[in-house]
Structure 1
């Protein structure tokens, strides 16, 4: 396996990080792990940086060269377990907006309903 020259693992629903052992494959001239569910930093200590960014596209959790041209150390995005402390995380319902929508709908319904069902008010 150490003399592997080509590895195509695209569209396989793989998750987790790229194994660091892949960085030891010195003869690897083609790598494609696109359109999986991989996360974490792409190994940079070997020829992984020579592969085109298309080899890694479609993995929302991957970061680092060649996807980005960062030369500084970048921390991965934080992971939230269970309930989030960020009110705008997308997992929580914004009750202020829901309450305003319900209030407007009820008020509008009462006003229009009154006009429809009360003959005196229509005139």
Structure 2
């Protein structure tokens, strides 16, 4: 399974996640994102708009990116979570460690203006 990524303004990596981010595909997603970090990306926005279902291993993809980027002074943001996904993020209290934006453009803009 391929992870769709694209670089936008000011070297912010946007990761478009699949409709289902579950145990069956989460490791491939995490590996793809962490490869991008290893290649020098320090600002990552996860586009959650396509995601209709996410389980704990899917949430682990987001946390893995954050854990990898924090020591590198990197930044991670979540954009466009639907109501069910946002509910799970709040239930697991991940909203306390991630910046969450209602639209992708604002998330990219915010990360592009932050200093490393």
Give the TM-score of the pair, scaled to structure 2. Answer: 0.35
Larger Rg, first or second structure (1 or 2):
1
More relative contact order, 1 or 2 (CA 8 Å, 6+ apart):
2
Give the TM-score of the pair, scaled to structure 1. Answer: 0.33
Greater fraction strand: 2
